[in-house]
Structure 1
């Protein structure tokens, strides 16, 4: 992992990126922390050209996104144009719509749809990535839902964006799952898990209980390209949380 591969997930700063002016001020802070890339997700309705201009102004690459399921199904041509303009290869689905979660038929249908979308994205030089939460670790016929997605979707067209916190919250081992997904994951979400009064809580990298040496080594071994810091909720200033996580990951980086 190089420092240049560490990115900030803008969903962490969603309360501070509602307008172009807020996005500009926030990305200035993100760059000052040391990040060289961002994942675009959770920002306000800002024109894509303006988003690109602001990112370029602050020297931040757009490494990945989260796009709504509706847009992926009904506005894919525009999604493709946006990502090509942003020089952003990875198009992410941030969560599975509720109607697919009830049982195995829904997971199989989601795998089919992801493959269909991924095929079109691949033809445009882009990649489809799926982001998990903990519900995908419910088992159907002896296998976790996420494993069904992995097995039923076509590897050439569907990648994964594992979230370390949610894998662990689902009762699974993040390191084992990184190795299981293997070459199908080029973007990973990194967040720590702490225990406060017997409750699992989101934590900055290094402030929780995860084995980050092993997690980063597994990512190196399997060819992860982008190490994206996300924190769904922060105990205080989210910019400070991003800074704490960046410092911790920088200490694990083996190159600039």
Structure 2
């Protein structure tokens, strides 16, 4: 387990960060987070962002990088990850035309294995982050389980998203258990009662203590707070999630 296992996915604060990236990072640190999971570096290059992060006192737990860049610009991406000190490189999403059948997922596994091998050689860990659609069934399996079984465990790991698991009708605790040892990253979100919209961690219907326990038992390394859409000011939302989780002695 990381010394400070809580990180914040900066996508949550994308609107604020697009106006003032560094100022937003400072507010993240003021709340108490010790790490961020980045989704782009704004107008800065990796070296400039690293200098700002070091000055603020934040580390990068991982980075979401689109599949197009992973396939076409991996050397540049890896250089940026090394500069940022990011141990985890994450594929965050797959376009619909690449995930419509079981065969699509088998083909995707081959692509991820190739990327993952190069990432491993660079000394980093490559992860795949899922949404709900990877959990739609293909016979007696799902796209995500095809990836689990056909991706090389030496080179491809997973970032389990507990909200999207629940949205797909899958118990997040069970899913984390199925991916034990293969999911070093867990996205912590919550689901508002009734509406199934995104909610601050601890304010919704998901059993967060059970999820945390399952993730620890499954050897998760980082718990990453993310709220795709906030119903209140996003900084207030990420503060609420942080304070709830710290109240659980995290």
TM-score bucket (shorter structure)? over 0.9
Whole-Å separation in 2 of the counterparts to 1:56 and 1:191: 27
> Which residue of the partner structure matches residue 143 of structure 2?
145
Output the TM-score relative to the length of structure 2: 0.96
Deviations 1:94-143 (A, max 9, x none): 11122111101110011111111000000110111111110111111211
Question: Are residues 191 and 208 of structure 1, via their aligned partners in 2, closer, same or farther at CA, if it must alter by over 3 Å?
Answer: same
Whole-Å separation in 2 of the counterparts to 1:58 and 1:44: 17
* Residues 1:93 and 2:91 are matched in the alignment: yes
Q: Which runs of 5+ in 2 are unaligned?
A: none
Deviations 1:198-241 (A, max 9, x none): 42110001100111111111111111111100000001110110
- Cα distance, 1:8 vs. partner? 0.7
Whole-Å separation in 2 of the counterparts to 1:240 and 1:25: 15
**Contact 1:133/1:163 (CA < 8 Å) preserved in 2?**
yes
Q: Secondary structure at the match of 1:227?
A: strand
**Contact 2:41/2:49 (CA < 8 Å) preserved in 1?**
no
Deviations 1:54-89 (A, max 9, x none): 111110000001001111001111111111111111
CA RMSD between the two structures: 1.4
* Residues 1:246 and 2:242 are matched in the alignment: yes
- Cα distance, 1:42 vs. partner? 5.0
Deviations 1:143-201 (A, max 9, x none): 11111111111111110001110000011010011111111111111000112xx4211
Q: Secondary structure at the match of 2:237?
A: helix
Runs of 4+ in 1 over 6 A off after TM superposition: none
> Which residue of the partner structure matches residue 207 of structure 2?
211
Matched residue count: 250
- Cα distance, 1:3 vs. partner? 7.3
> Which residue of the partner structure matches residue 14 of structure 1?
14
* Residues 1:221 and 2:211 are matched in the alignment: no
Q: Which runs of 5+ in 1 are unaligned?
A: none
Output the TM-score relative to the length of structure 1: 0.94
Q: Secondary structure at the match of 1:162?
A: strand
Q: Which segment drifts farther, 227-236 or 244-253?
A: 244-253
